[in-house]
Structure 1
């Protein structure tokens, strides 16, 4: 299909309409991804599809729509929505700026790789795949694509934050306003990109709010409380559904709670990661990208070690390590699927 401004806008309208249809079938309790004026939202979706550095935003929005769509009880409505979702995702993946693109450096190696996994799931267990990844390796795209192919839910940091926000709202008896907010923090714009006026802005924390947080989190630092809340959420969901979870130390959390899962780590050579990030964020210089990747790697290492006591990215801590530069996005997804299928998971 040839893509131009008109076809991209038409695709954006289909995404908006799909979200509205899911919302109509489920009601207001789960909210909507796109809750603002139609024209404004469509323009924003068009921007996300045209700009490569917006891929993570579009991916999370589509994942949240599909996660909610899979809960539709009416079989005919579910089939209609999921069919449209599949068509939309296929069209999005074919865009020149698609988040599903990836580079393969060694095709011969990709053809030779095979792997089997010893069966570890009982008939009563849900299939949970935990994916850790280095920034710039395409790990998020691999996780998202794999979840779609397996027809299971996908959770990343943005989606977990939204789920926790809604749970907190329920605790505080705050009415669901139906929106899906992103953070508009100038210092973290590369991670939380968004331009809608309804997106949350940072506010000064009052003494009363600090006391409320202290009471809510039982005296724990907020970041620790968030980690423990996420941990409980991950364990609860692992007992309820099949899904893929990105990061969040999920593999260690599940292991400590004796919950079966598959743990995967995705990375790529540093130079390849630099090139990939520069192709997505063309406004950044090579020097800036190198510094950013080193900083992010250091933060991941410290975060993982602090909460697990283990070494992030160390082979012995995972079922499978993938060099995405040897497979690309599709090849990596195929490899993981072969692992699952050969193990009869």
Structure 2
């Protein structure tokens, strides 16, 4: 076994044990993130660390653990477990093939940028940051790193699905509002799944009180998102969150992260193991899909600067620089709220 794999296995064990300890201390009725055999789970986590194409799964699982850990009421326990979480992130960063290392920085542009900030939200509201992004712009990496830097919860589509499913399983939850089909993919959300039979479509029709499945899912997640914004600080990736919160009068900061197409192509070639032709095709498909979903449910133009507080070219700053930039925006907003 090479040294890199040994390091990954050790970190994987720490992740598994952290999840177990968070569950033990919290005694959560929502359950653990990892329920499988320890050795099997550790091996899977170690493999994820070495695969750029699957790194988002590891990121989501880590975020679920940290989100739960931040709810621990005893300060000493919460501090101890969050310290271990942060040390695990630092260990991941040191891996030769860490899952979050490919940057999008364009050094020629980075030195040209400056920032002018205005007041963004009023004092007393929860900090909610909505991030839209194009695939290959490192937007998800930036969102995850920003949540860690701000010490707030992080939700992407996979975590949001998991939260909805867990709430549905919780007898204390409102069943109708959070009904959710687990692992519903984006094609189904856009109504592109042509293979569902008549019986399945009728069953979904009855389940959602006559609404099309994709519409019911959107309304359910919208209601949950608004409830969350009244209870906690968090970062939410996509989900039309900026438009949903705006329509409900809930303060938030909205960002859109993009990068030059050629740099996105290069990054996707590295992260997804595609040749240039395949990367270009994938980006065009995903851009069309994301644009259709966003514009269908919001009536807004996806990526239009008029719809966001800040549109960020991640190639101008890279991942770390983008995180620092947004933190500066938030800190300035908080200072303005005190005036």
Q: Structure 1 stretches of 5 or more lacking a match?
A: 174-180, 189-202
Aligned to 2:177: none
Q: 1:304 aligns with which of 283, 287, 294?
A: 294
Please point out which of 270, 279, 288 is paired with 1:289: 279
Work out whether residues 137 and 268 of structure 1, in 8 Å CA contact, stay in contact via their aligned partners in 2: yes
User: Does the CA contact (< 8 Å) of 2:135 and 2:264 recur in 1?
Assistant: yes
Report how far residue 115 of structure 1 moved.
2.3
Q: Which whole-Å CA distance do the structure 2 matches of 1:281 and 1:69 have between them?
A: 31
* CA RMSD across the alignment: 2.5
Q: 1:5 to 1:184 in 2, by over 3 A?
A: farther
Quickly say closer, same or farther: Cα 1:127–1:72, change in 2 above 3 A: same
Aligned counterparts of 2:131 and 2:196: Cα–Cα separation in 1: 35
Aligned to 2:247: 256
Distance 1:343 1:249 in 2: 23
Contact 1:100 1:142 survives alignment (8 Å): no
Whole-angstrom distance in 2 between the partners of 1:157 and 1:93: 23
**Which residue pairs with 1:57 in the alignment?**
57
Residue in 2 that maps onto 1:326 = 316
Q: For residue 343 of structure 1, report the CA deviation from its aligned partner.
A: 2.5
Give the secondary structure class of the aligned counterpart of 1:344.
Answer: helix
Matched, 1:170 2:170: yes
Describe the SS at the equivalent of 2:170: helix
Q: Residue by residue, what CA displacement relative to the aligned partner does 1:296-322 show, whole Å, maximum 9, x if unpaired?
A: 000111111100111101111111111
Kindly state the Cα deviation for residue 52 of structure 1 after the two structures are TM-superposed.
Answer: 1.1
TM-score, structure 2 as length reference: 0.87
1:41-80 → structure 2 map (5 Å cutoff): 41-80=41-80
Larger deviation, residues 20-29 vs 224-233: 20-29
TM-score by length of 1: 0.86
User: CA 1:172–1:83 in structure 2 vs 1: closer, same or farther (change >3 Å)?
Assistant: closer
Match runs of 1:1-345 below 5 Å: 4-101=4-101, 102-106=103-107, 109-170=109-170, 183=183, 207=199, 211-282=202-273, 284-344=274-334
Moved more, 315-324 or 146-155: 315-324
Instruction: Give the C-alpha shift of residue 74 in structure 1.
Output: 1.6
- Could you tell me which runs of 5 or more consecutive residues in structure 2 were left unpaired when the two chains were aligned: 174-180, 188-194
- Cα distance in 2 for partners of 1:28, 1:245 equals 23
